[in-house]
Chains A and B, each alone.
Chain A
Amino acid sequence: MLRLRLGFVVIAMVLSVFGARLVQLQGIDPKAYAKMAAAEGVVEVVLPAERGDILDRNGVPLADSVAGKMVVADPKMTHDDANDLARLLATELGVDYFSTLEKLREDDSRFEYVARRVPSTQATDVVAQVDALGFKGITTREDPVRDYPADEVAANVLGFMGTDEALGGFERTFDAHLAGTDGHARYTEGRGYRVPLGENSTIGAVDGSPLRTTIDRDLQWFSEKVLQETLDSYRAGSGAVVVLDTRTGETLALADGPTFDPNHPLDFPKDDLGSRALNEPYEPGSVQKVLTVASLIDAGKVTARTKIKVPPSLDRQDRSIGDWFPHGDIKLTLAGVIAKSSNIGTVLAADAFTPPQLTDYLEQFGLGARTDVGVRGETRGILTSGGAMTSQTKDRVAFGQSLSVNTLQMAAAVNTIANGGVRIDPSLVRGRAVTDDGTEVGTDTATERRVVSEKAAHQTMLMMERVVDDEVGVAPAAQVPGYRVAGKTGTAQRVDPECGCYDGSNSVSFAGFAPADDPRFTVYVVVHDPKVDGGGGSIGGPAFSRIMGYALGRYRVPPTGTRPSRLPVEW
């Protein structure tokens, strides 16, 4: 009897211990224990979304994402072999030996990045080597790499990526479009394999969408090379080339120089990482005369044959206006004023306009307003409003000083003449896309508006053809053999932004289109601060000719076979 009782007591004691434990587990903090149980063997991995490619107009990738890995270390496991491991990692991955050594010996840490964005095969090879040598604690995780297969091509438009975020250009502007959403997977793992019937949940990654640009990669490359050659030959500070499809306003090439390699953005000066073509305003110089003259013809104030007596210099209110070439009293037609690029002739012709009339036209041409093609930090240029403009300012604006533009603005304005007087918004993105500040851009949102009549545009074209004439023009170097070319040179003094004065350097440019009587392309070349003497015709002309010749050949545009304009330049 006693034994039985003792037995019961023992059982009761044991049961109450169980009971107490049960209360402890379930009553006091059940969640923490449930978590601990779940954590045992459960791994959680991020499934990185693939960043969308940036494509050229033909679908060739300008920027693409490739599978990459991050190499991570668990210092608790690597602490003892840190020296050998650091040496191996430094040789294989090109990371800094000393900082790696420090990371591998970090106290109180179980996770350190050794290298980010390593190509997949390279990372796997390194880990295989580490395993083969018997070391532990080095693993890899998914970490896609951004690659720019054509290196520098279109870099100034594309921008570049930092380790984790987009830092410039389209990469940043269209980050939301390109980035996608990462997914997650949670599963029970044993010896590197998923345990079936264990915890298993996957939320798939949503890849980013590709962004299709209007850029033609090969034409862009060619333009960049020609621009770089020009900058080198004339020891110029910077420059830009724009190639527009005349009919659609699509930007086939937007070259900036000096440029950079987006695969290694840190190796280049910070100033070269943006798009100067759109970010830096400058005075367009005589290319502007084309817009003034087209407006005057549209308003019925002049014709291409209007006779103008051009004095050696023209005294206006506060200063005298001169021409770039010395001359006595000469008799030029308006076509001659354009062909010889006479400031005085343009000012005299523009006297028919009041300042508001002139600025209204220039605004219609798109000056003073951003093109909104999606490039960050675009300048709107400076165009004084008509009401506030003095007659002296108007005189200078008429031949392209005292106002400033960006390269694409000016190219689009000249393209208006090429397109029969209808301005079409330039675009850099095919279809439509939303920028980070919420603007919708792209070919689908481009609009058209008539600025000058078709007749005015045609007459302006005929005058511009005289610019590249061997005998009467100032830019025979801009000819493209076999084609009719219309164009206009520009030379303008450059403004030093610090003092707000002209600093003695020049911006030379050439804008034109071909075939003149049925234009397909508008090419605009700007060279800033050349150290070798030259003007828009001699510096910009040859670059224009090469790029235009290449574009015409690439798009198989045959010559029209008509005779070029023979407008008289003198009377």
Chain B
Amino acid sequence: MSSPAVQLRSRVASIGEAAVERARLTVVPRARVRAPRIPFVTLVSVVLLGGVIGLLMFNTSMQQASFYAGDLEERATTMAAREQTLRRELDALRSPQRIAEQAQRMGMVVPAAPAFLGLDGTVTGTPTPAVPDDALQLTRRPDAKPAHLNPPATIVEVPATPPATAQAAPAAGVAKAKRR
């Protein structure tokens, strides 16, 4: 009957002792861990340097791109201008006036009226041959000269019957005068 009580007491004492033992604090020597500085400094420097260099390179590349864009733009402008020049030349070549002049030099004229040839050989309309008279006057005629620069032709009336004395030779002379 007493033995369990003794047992309990001794157990309590032993726990208490351990607790006391544990609770007794002692001063521990300060452990000074010196973190190595160099990696950090390097890291910061690298980040900083990387940032600066990166920014510089980014800026340079942007500038480079701007140069490139500028050059390309200039090329585009030049080529657009060239294209327009060519287009103008083409327009000049296509101008109805030029085509007509060239065609007329080659002997082509605009017919007075069209005639139509059906697939079955029927002809509608009146086919009329194109003649040189159909040619258009393509340039304005120069203005008429003022009267004093364009005196009227002198007309010499020659008697129809040559004088009896001269026979053959004067006849030729008459013909000449008439021609003039």
B81 touches A482 (CB 8 A): no
- Closest B residue to A553 by CB, please name it: B114
Q: How far is the CB of B119 from chain A (nearest CB, A)?
A: 13
Whether A150 touches B97, Cβ cut-off 8 Å, given contacts A196-B66, A228-B140, A558-B125, is yes
- Closest B residue to A219 by CB, please name it: B96
Q: Binary interface profile of A, 474-511, with partner B (CB < 8 Å = 1, else 0)? A: 00000011110000000000000000000000000000
- Tell me if B63 is interfacial: C-beta within 8 Å of chain A: yes
Segment of B24-32, B44-52, B84-92, B167-175 in the binding face: B84-92
- Tell me if A121 is interfacial: C-beta within 8 Å of chain B: yes
Docked pose: A389 CA to B80 CA in angstroms: 64
Contact of A552 among B78, B96, B114 (CB under 8 A): B114
Docked pose: A550 CA to B134 CA in angstroms: 11
Contact of A549 among B112, B116, B144 (CB under 8 A): B112
Contact of A121 among B82, B113, B136 (CB under 8 A): B82
A229 touches B136 (CB 8 A): yes
Chain B residues near A147 (CB, 8 Å)? 88, 91
Whether A232 touches B140, Cβ cut-off 8 Å, given contacts A222-B110, A546-B112, A559-B125, is yes
B88 touches A196 (CB 8 A): no
Docked pose: A217 CA to B96 CA in angstroms: 8
Chain A residues near B96 (CB, 8 Å)? 150, 153, 217-218, 221-222
- Tell me if A1 is interfacial: C-beta within 8 Å of chain B: no
Q: How far is the CB of B66 from chain A (nearest CB, A)?
A: 5
Docked pose: A167 CA to B96 CA in angstroms: 26
Contact of B85 among A121, A481, A483 (CB under 8 A): A121
- Tell me if A325 is interfacial: C-beta within 8 Å of chain B: no
Contact of B84 among A67, A124, A481 (CB under 8 A): A67
A226 touches B136 (CB 8 A): yes
Docked pose: A229 CA to B110 CA in angstroms: 15
A549 touches B66 (CB 8 A): no
B66 touches A232 (CB 8 A): no
- Tell me if B128 is interfacial: C-beta within 8 Å of chain A: yes
Chain B residues near A482 (CB, 8 Å)? 113, 115, 124-126, 128
Q: Binary interface profile of A, 544-560, with partner B (CB < 8 Å = 1, else 0)? A: 01100110110010110
A151 touches B95 (CB 8 A): yes
- Tell me if A27 is interfacial: C-beta within 8 Å of chain B: no
- Tell me if B145 is interfacial: C-beta within 8 Å of chain A: no
- Tell me if A328 is interfacial: C-beta within 8 Å of chain B: no
Chain A residues near B82 (CB, 8 Å)? 121
Contact of B70 among A193, A480, A558 (CB under 8 A): A193
Q: Which B90-149 residues have a C-beta within 8 angstroms of A?
A: 91-92, 94-97, 100, 110-116, 124-126, 128, 136-138, 140-141, 144
Q: Which of A61, A151, A193, A480 has the most CB of B within 10 A?
A: A193
- Tell me if A7 is interfacial: C-beta within 8 Å of chain B: no
Chain A residues near B110 (CB, 8 Å)? 222, 546, 550
- Tell me if A194 is interfacial: C-beta within 8 Å of chain B: yes
Docked pose: A546 CA to B109 CA in angstroms: 12
Q: Binary interface profile of B, 29-49, with partner A (CB < 8 Å = 1, else 0)? A: 000000000000000000000
Whether A192 touches B136, Cβ cut-off 8 Å, given contacts A124-B78, A150-B97, is no
Classify the secondary structure of A's interface with B: mixed
Docked pose: A312 CA to B92 CA in angstroms: 58
- Tell me if B69 is interfacial: C-beta within 8 Å of chain A: yes
Docked pose: A495 CA to B53 CA in angstroms: 89
B125 touches A61 (CB 8 A): no
Contact of A149 among B80, B85, B88, B128 (CB under 8 A): B88
A235 touches B144 (CB 8 A): yes
A151 touches B97 (CB 8 A): yes
- Tell me if A195 is interfacial: C-beta within 8 Å of chain B: yes
Docked pose: A196 CA to B84 CA in angstroms: 31
Contact of A545 among B77, B87, B95, B112 (CB under 8 A): B112
Docked pose: A182 CA to B144 CA in angstroms: 48
Chain B residues near A232 (CB, 8 Å)? 137, 140-141
Docked pose: A228 CA to B97 CA in angstroms: 13
A67 touches B80 (CB 8 A): yes
Q: How far is the CB of B68 from chain A (nearest CB, A)?
A: 10
Docked pose: A153 CA to B59 CA in angstroms: 56
Q: Which of B94, B114, B136, B144 has the most CB of A within 10 A?
A: B114
Whether A196 touches B124, Cβ cut-off 8 Å, given contacts A151-B95, A553-B113, is no
Docked pose: A553 CA to B109 CA in angstroms: 13
Q: Which A48-78 residues have a C-beta within 8 angstroms of B?
A: 61, 64, 66-67
- Tell me if A269 is interfacial: C-beta within 8 Å of chain B: no
- Closest B residue to A61 by CB, please name it: B91
B136 touches A225 (CB 8 A): yes
- Tell me if A119 is interfacial: C-beta within 8 Å of chain B: yes
Docked pose: A71 CA to B137 CA in angstroms: 40
Docked pose: A134 CA to B71 CA in angstroms: 22
Docked pose: A556 CA to B118 CA in angstroms: 13
B125 touches A483 (CB 8 A): yes
Q: How far is the CB of B39 from chain A (nearest CB, A)?
A: 35
- Tell me if A438 is interfacial: C-beta within 8 Å of chain B: no
Docked pose: A559 CA to B122 CA in angstroms: 13
Contact of B124 among A152, A545, A559 (CB under 8 A): A559
Whether A549 touches B111, Cβ cut-off 8 Å, given contacts A66-B88, A120-B84, A225-B136, is yes
Chain B residues near A94 (CB, 8 Å)? none
- Tell me if B65 is interfacial: C-beta within 8 Å of chain A: yes
Contacts A/B (CB < 8 Å), 9 sampled: A66-B88, A124-B81, A150-B96, A152-B97, A194-B69, A195-B66, A235-B144, A481-B112, A558-B124
Identify the A interface with B (CB < 8 A).
61, 64, 66-67, 119-121, 124, 147, 149-153, 192-197, 217-218, 221-222, 225-226, 228-229, 232, 235, 258, 480-483, 545-546, 549-550, 552-553, 556, 558-559, 561
Q: Which 9 A-B pairs have the closest CB atoms?
A: A553-B114, A482-B126, A149-B91, A120-B81, A482-B125, A549-B113, A229-B137, A196-B62, A221-B96
List 5 other contacts, CB 8 Å, given A221-B100, A559-B124: A151-B97, A193-B63, A481-B113, A546-B110, A556-B114
